[in-house]
Amino acid sequence: MHVFNVHLGTGYLERRAQARILLGDSILRRVDLQGPSVVVGDFNEWTRGLASRLMSTHYDSIDLKVQTGKRGSYPGVFPLLHLDHFYFDRRLALKRFHVCRNAQAIIASDHLPIVADFALKSGGPHHHSAHQEAAK
């Protein structure tokens, strides 16, 4: 299992370049990268931009609004925006997730943590559960 925690830039052109690098041969498409991967973090996209579109072509995602009815995880005190994204390898099955909204989370960051539980989709002898947390 590989977990990538990213914080893309606030500039439009910077973010586009970072998304292309992230999905390129030196990071997420490395030949020696074996096993499923999860990419989480602040993508700094107020709308569905290039980074989100590129990630969605290769990964499934947790869509807070669709799956919880809640709009976002930023800012933590009054979360309205969906800047924090959780993309996961299609070899993983999302079992459950939640946005952690408690006093500790609000004090720790201006972003609320997104917590997810996964299982490998293959039911072979090496079937494992994976628990990943993404916190900003």
pLDDT in tens, 15-48: 999 999 999 999 999 999 889 999 998 888 877 7
**What's the whole-model pTM score?**
0.77
User: Which tokens in the block code for residue 89?
Assistant: 């390898």
Please state, in angstroms and rounded to a whole number, the distance separating the CA atoms of residues 29 and 14.
20
Residue 134 parent element (H or E): strand 129-134
Domains of the chain, with CATH numbers? Answer: 2-134 (3.60.10.10)
Tens of pLDDT along 47-92?
777 888 888 888 998 876 656 656 676 666 776 667 788 899 999 9
With CA atoms as reference, report the closest residue to 134 among 76, 82, 84.
84
Report how far apart, in Å, the C-alpha atoms of 104 and of each of 62, 79, 86, 111, 135 are: 23, 15, 21, 12, 12
What letter represents residue 117's amino acid? D
Classified as helix, coil or strand, 66 is helix
User: What's the pLDDT score for residue 92?
Assistant: 94
